Homo-oligomer: A and B are copies of this chain.
Amino acid sequence: MRYGLYYWPEIQGRGEFVRLALEEGGADYVDVARRGSGMAAMSRLLDGAGIKRAPYAPPILKAGKLVVAQTALILHYLGPRLRLVPRSEADRLWAHQLQLTVTDFVKEIHDTHHPISTALYYEDQRPAAKRYSAEFWQNRVPKFLGYFEEVLENSGGPHVFGRKVSYVDLSLFQIVEGLRYAFPRRMKRFESKVPRLIGLRDRVARRPRIAAYLASDRRIPFNESGIFRHYKELDG
């Protein structure tokens, strides 16, 4: 099966959680919108041209005739096919539940720089962003990352499912990488509170396929158009 991933070509964004799974799973895939007329193809999908069930937004996965959107759902779908989740229903539900909590956290991370509206520039909501970011680091980061730290403690580690890696682990790697990029000073102070999560990040980074991907030009660098943006004034 050759998969088609449709996502904005200039950012990691939410698509990156899918890219990491496709790469670790050794999938045959095309990052469609980064090719020739790929953006036009993505627009047609979003407009519902030729399909009855147009998705709301990217990322979108095409698998044969099937079109799946919503990051966590794409991973739920790909998980068993790429052997990135255990087989039992209970385990698949647990992985999906955790990934949906990652999704919630990603939205809050995004809102650190866009608390008022995505239709406005960052520069037009900077005071709100500063206030949001301070609250975010005081309350939300400890709650979310503390939760994932506990999950790793309860699983026995080093991964969410113990010995075997899952797509959730790849997403937690991305969360740590992104927070380090966006908030280097705050994250540096915080990391000692979540040693298992940092250990997981290191393990994922050393996996041969992930390491090869990160070193390739398929990995788009972090930048100030994505979810994780570095603005010094938000970094405390």
Most B CB atoms within 10 A — which of A53, A54, A96, A120? A53
> Nearest CB to that of A98 among chain B residues?
B56
B56 touches A69 (CB 8 A): no
Complex-state Cα separation, A48 to B149, whole angstroms: 13
Q: A218 in the interface, Cβ–Cβ < 8 Å?
A: no
> Chain A: how many interface residues by the 8 Å CB criterion?
42
Q: Which residues, 32 to 54 on A, are CB-close (under 8 Å) to B?
A: 48, 52-54
Q: A68-B97, A93-B68, A101-B56 are in contact. Are A135 and B117 (CB under 8 A)?
A: yes
Q: A150 in the interface, Cβ–Cβ < 8 Å?
A: yes
Which of B52, B56, B93 is the one whose CB lies under 8 Å from A154? B52
> Nearest CB to that of A91 among chain B residues?
B53
Taking CB atoms, residues of chain B closer than 8 Å to A93 are: 66, 68, 73, 77
Taking CB atoms, residues of chain B closer than 8 Å to A154 are: 48, 52-54
Taking CB atoms, residues of chain B closer than 8 Å to A97 are: 55, 68-70, 73
Q: Assembly of this chain: how many copies?
A: 2
Complex-state Cα separation, A100 to B72, whole angstroms: 9
B116 touches A70 (CB 8 A): no
Complex-state Cα separation, A197 to B31, whole angstroms: 35
B147 touches A56 (CB 8 A): yes
Complex-state Cα separation, A87 to B136, whole angstroms: 41
B70 touches A90 (CB 8 A): no
> Nearest CB to that of A71 among chain B residues?
B100
Q: A131 in the interface, Cβ–Cβ < 8 Å?
A: yes
Name 22 interchain pairs, CB-CB below 8 A, sorted by A. A48-B150, A48-B154, A52-B155, A53-B94, A54-B150, A54-B154, A56-B144, A56-B147, A66-B90, A66-B93, A70-B100, A70-B101, A73-B93, A104-B107, A107-B107, A115-B132, A116-B132, A116-B135, A117-B135, A118-B139, A119-B139, A128-B131
Query: Which A residues are closer than 8 A to B by beta carbons?
Result: 48, 52-56, 66, 68-70, 72-73, 77, 90, 93-94, 96-97, 100-101, 104, 107, 111, 115-120, 128, 131-132, 135-136, 138-139, 144, 147, 150-151, 154-155
3 closest A-B pairs (Cβ-Cβ)? A117-B135, A70-B100, A56-B101
